[in-house]
A and B are shown apart, each in its own frame.
Chain A
Amino acid sequence: MDSMTDTETRPLIKMIKVNKFFGPFQALKNIDLEVYKGEKIVICGPSGSGKSTLIRCINRLEEHNDGNIIIDGIELTDKVEDIDAVRREVGMVFQSFNLFPHMTIAKNLMIAQQLVRKTPKAKAREIAMLYLERVKIPEQADKYPIQLSGGQQQRVAIARALCMRPEIILFDEPTSALDPEMINEVLDVMIDLARDGMTMVCVTHEMGFARSVADRVIFMDAGEIVEQAEPAEFFDNPENERTKVFLNQILSH
């Protein structure tokens, strides 16, 4: 099979019967998931349902206990080279931004390029500025994270992930820690990325975003994928009782 059809027919993310335990507690139960290139997935569900755990298994911030996780053809096992290879392909944006507090914004975007991609400093800075412009804050390049608002910090965090030219970006509740007036500036950047064809897996409760951007919405509860469907179907015609209850709670807010 030639590589062209390979990338089109093979999912970028494939999870097969994945289980994850924290001690005796089972956080993920028999997770099956396939995400193809360019797809945008939204994951929602009550707190503690395993959403973070699921996406953190994708870049091995958590180790799954059994089942298989294959990212762009690379199976995640204990092999450090494979984990590194997967992390080069997968960017991540956290709820609490997690910028490096002791580095300027530009340096935050350059450090991994220099250390992981071995990009020369000048080139790394050039790429950093490119993505800072893309998230519309190039003028903040030489400030420190603490000097920026939450919305700006999260945009920097997205730019930092983009600098590594990932195939996939994972978002773990990227707007949950933000003041309401800053949520849209971050969602706008995410919508922009989606239009550009980025493969995205987003844990979020921003249902407007899910409706307009997602190809598929996944509902999780108690470590299981309860239901997945296209957004129109998911919101207007949910099948599972637990999904209905959840949507009622969310939408009544």
Chain B
Amino acid sequence: MEVLTGWWDDYFWGAVIVAKVFIASLSLMILFGLIGAGAKLSNSRVAQKIAGAYTVIFRGTPEILVILLLYFGSAILLTSIAQIFNPEIKFVDVPPFWAGTIAISIIVGSYATETFRGAFLGVNPGSIEAARALGMSTLQTFIYIRIPEMWRIALPPFGNHMLSLIKDTALISIIGLNETLFVAKQAITVTGKPFTMYIVVGAIYLGFSSVITLAVMAIEKFGNRTTIDAK
């Protein structure tokens, strides 16, 4: 175990980065998912087509490829824009944190698009009609009837999307984000102990995913008290 001495704080900061990526990408993933679902449910043919292409493309390509393309693609784009103003500039560095976070949010957001769309369509239309017949406004019906029914439907797949995000964080090490897997690679070059170093990474990720799983289970239990016979 003493091979790990001196690496603990690096792992700790690596884990902090994992947490940061997770929180940022979770917010963006929800945003992309809601926009995608809204577009698919809208009356606009164009919006439907764009959202359809979005889900087909990002559910059908390897995640690591999306991360690489977005990282290098945005670097090339930003460099050529910068060169318009200053031809001396050779290369603009894109922060791997943001390139990676946005990439995995887009990818998992394409799955969330289907989840949110399904949850919207899964709400019992009878509930909505009952609310309207009682004189509730469209907004009141949305807030008090549709959303509470929707999140119960969306929660189980949404839990899986959160697990995907946390695991995809490790992929961002490929573009130089110093999260735990990146730390492990450095430690291996110094110590020559790959198995030990990777096991630590595994334990950290398992810790994160366990917390997520337990949280989803707790929320599900709260939501299900109304749908499971609790006599």
Task: Tell me which of A99, A102, A111 contacts B152 (CB under 8 A).
Answer: A102
Give the contacts of B111-165 with A (CB-CB under 8 A): 124, 126-127, 129-137, 140, 144-145, 148-149, 152
Interface 9-mer from B3-11, B31-39, B59-67, B223-231: B223-231
A111-B145 Cα distance, complex, nearest whole Å:
10
Return the chain B residue nearest A144 by Cβ.
B226
A54-B126 Cα distance, complex, nearest whole Å:
17
Chain B residues lying within 8 Å of A88, measured Cβ to Cβ, are 135
Chain A residues lying within 8 Å of B144, measured Cβ to Cβ, are 111, 115
Q: Give the most central of B226, B229, B230: most A CB within 10 Å.
A: B226
Q: Is the CB of A100 within 8 A of B127?
A: yes
Chain A residues lying within 8 Å of B229, measured Cβ to Cβ, are 146-147
Q: Is the CB of B231 within 8 A of A147?
A: yes
Q: Is the CB of A87 within 8 A of B133?
A: yes
Chain A residues lying within 8 Å of B149, measured Cβ to Cβ, are 101-102
Given A102-B152, A146-B227, A94-B127 contact (CB < 8 Å): no
A84-B133 Cα distance, complex, nearest whole Å:
9
Task: Tell me which of B127, B131, B133 contacts A101 (CB under 8 A).
Answer: B127
A-B residue pair count with CB separations less than 8 angstroms? 75
Q: Is A16 an interface residue (CB 8 A)?
A: no
Chain B residues lying within 8 Å of A92, measured Cβ to Cβ, are 130, 133
Given A100-B145, A102-B148, A115-B140, A144-B134 contact (CB < 8 Å): no
Q: Give the most central of A88, A101, A116: most B CB within 10 Å.
A: A101
Pick 9 A–B contacts, CB within 8 A, sort by A: A61-B129, A87-B134, A87-B135, A99-B130, A100-B145, A101-B124, A102-B148, A112-B134, A161-B134
Other A-B pairs beyond A87-B135, A91-B134, A146-B227, 16, CB < 8 Å: A59-B133, A61-B133, A87-B132, A88-B135, A92-B130, A94-B126, A98-B129, A100-B145, A101-B149, A101-B227, A102-B226, A111-B136, A112-B135, A112-B136, A144-B230, A147-B230
A235-B124 Cα distance, complex, nearest whole Å:
38
Chain B residues lying within 8 Å of A147, measured Cβ to Cβ, are 229-231
Chain B residues lying within 8 Å of A49, measured Cβ to Cβ, are none
Given A102-B152, A144-B226, A94-B129 contact (CB < 8 Å): yes
Chain A residues lying within 8 Å of B130, measured Cβ to Cβ, are 92, 94, 98-100, 157, 160
Shortest CB-to-CB span from A91 to chain B, Å, is 7
Chain B residues lying within 8 Å of A84, measured Cβ to Cβ, are 135, 137
